[in-house]
Chains A and B, each alone.
Chain A
Amino acid sequence: MALWRRFLNVFRPARLDGELNEELEFHRAMRLRHSQDRGLSAAEVEDETRRRMGNLLVAKEEMRDARVVRWLASSLEDLRHGLFLLRRDPGVSGLIVLVLALGIGGNAAVFTLLKAAFLDPLPYRDAGRLVTIMNDNGWGPSVSEFLEIRARSRTLEQITFAEHRDMQLSGTAEPVRVFAARVTASFFPLLGVNASLGRTFLAEENQPGRTPVAVLTDAFWRGRMGADPGAVGRTLRLDGEAALVVGVLPPGFHFDYPTLRISEPVDIYVSFPIEPLAALHYSSGGGVGVPVRVLARLREGITRAQAESELQGIGSALAREHPSAYLTRDGKPRGFTFETFPLRDAIVGTQRSLLWLLLGGVGVLLLIACANTAQLLLARSLRRGHEFAIRAALGASRLRLIRQFLLEGLVLAACGGVAGLLVSGWVARLLVAVLPVRSPLLESAHPGARAIGFTLAISLISAIVFAIIPALKGSKWTPGPALSARAVTVEGNRWRHAMIALEAALSVFMLCGAGLVAQNLWRLISTPMGFDPNHVLAMRLKLPARRPNSLDSKASQPLQEYLEKIEAIPGVDSAATVTGPPLRPAIGGPVEIVGLTEGSGALKSIIADLHQVSPDYFRTLRIPLLAGRAFRNDDVAGRPRVSIVNQEFARRFGLGADVVGRQTYEPGEPFTIVGMVGNVRTRGLRAAPFPESYISSMQFPWANVYLVVRSAIPPAQLVKQVKAAIESSNSDQAVFGVMTMDELIADSVTEPRFHVFLIGAFALLAVAMAASGMYSVISFLVSQRTGEIAIRMALGAGPGAIIKTVLGTTSLWVVAGLAGGLGLGLAASKTIRSLTNTEAAASPAMYAAVVLFFLAVTLLAAYLPARRATRLDPAEALRCE
Chain B
Amino acid sequence: MGKTKRDQLLGKVDLLVLRILACGDSMHGYAIAERIEQLSENVLQVGEGSLYPALHRMDESGWIRSEWAASDNNRRARYYRITAAGRRQLEEEKSEWLLAAEAITRVLRLA
Contacts and interface: CB of A to CB of B under 8 A. Distances in A.
Interface of A: 2, 6, 19-20, 22-24, 26-27, 29-31, 33, 52-54, 56, 58-59, 62-63, 66-67
B64 to A, nearest CB: 12
Given A2-B60, A63-B56, A66-B60, A29 B50 contact: no
Contacts of B73: 29-30, 33
Contacts of B47: 52, 54
Interface stretch (B16-24, B74-82, B96-104): B74-82
22 contacts: A2-B60, A26-B28, A26-B30, A27-B30, A27-B33, A29-B75, A33-B73, A52-B48, A53-B48, A54-B47, A54-B49, A56-B49, A56-B52, A58-B49, A62-B56, A63-B52, A63-B56, A66-B53, A66-B56, A66-B57, A67-B56, A67-B60
A56 B57 contact: no
B71 interface: yes
Given A23-B78, A62-B53, 7 more contacts: A26-B71, A29-B73, A30-B73, A56-B52, A62-B56, A62-B57, A66-B57
B28 A59 contact: no
B62 interface: yes
Contacts of A6: 60
Nearest to A61: B53
Main secondary structure of the interface of B (DSSP, over half): helix
A58 B47 CA distance: 13
A24 B76 CA distance: 11
A27 B47 CA distance: 11
Interface in B26-75: 28-30, 33, 47-50, 52-53, 56-57, 59-60, 62, 71, 73, 75
A787 to B, nearest CB: 50
A541 B30 CA distance: 101
A17 to B, nearest CB: 13
Given A56-B48, A56-B49, A66-B53, A27 B60 contact: no
A23 B55 CA distance: 11
B68 to A, nearest CB: 8
Task: In the A-B complex, list the 5 residue pairs whose CB atoms are closest, starting with the nearest.
Answer: A62-B53, A66-B56, A30-B30, A59-B49, A63-B56
Contacts of A66: 53, 56-57, 59-60
A15 to B, nearest CB: 13
Contacts of B75: 26, 29
A19 B67 CA distance: 11
Contacts of A20: 52
B80 to A, nearest CB: 10
Nearest to A60: B52
B61 to A, nearest CB: 9
Main secondary structure of the interface of A (DSSP, over half): helix
Contacts of B48: 24, 27, 52-54, 56, 59
B48 to A, nearest CB: 5
Contacts of A19: 78
A56 B2 CA distance: 16
Nearest to A2: B60
Contacts of A27: 28-30, 33, 48, 52
Nearest to B76: A22
B60 A24 contact: no
Contacts of B56: 62-63, 66-67
B105 to A, nearest CB: 31
Contacts of A2: 60, 62
Contacts of B52: 20, 23-24, 27, 56, 59, 63
A185 to B, nearest CB: 73
Contacts of A59: 48-50, 52-53
Nearest to A62: B53
Nearest to B62: A2
A50 to B, nearest CB: 12
Contacts of A63: 52-53, 56
A26 B31 CA distance: 11
Contacts of A62: 53, 56-57
A533 B44 CA distance: 109
B20 to A, nearest CB: 16
B90 to A, nearest CB: 19
Contacts of B2: 52
A58 to B, nearest CB: 7
A31 B53 CA distance: 18
Q: Taking each of A6, A33, A66, which has the highest tally of chain B beta carbons within 10 Å of its own beta carbon? A: A66
A634 B27 CA distance: 120
Nearest to A30: B30
B69 to A, nearest CB: 11
Contacts of B77: 23, 26
A815 to B, nearest CB: 60
A53 to B, nearest CB: 5
A634 to B, nearest CB: 106
A16 to B, nearest CB: 10
B5 to A, nearest CB: 12
A278 B87 CA distance: 95
A218 B13 CA distance: 82
A789 B53 CA distance: 57
Contacts of B30: 26-27, 30-31
Interface string B1-19: 0100000000000000000
A30 B77 CA distance: 11
A26 B76 contact: yes
Nearest to B60: A66
Nearest to A63: B56
A20 B50 CA distance: 14
B85 to A, nearest CB: 12
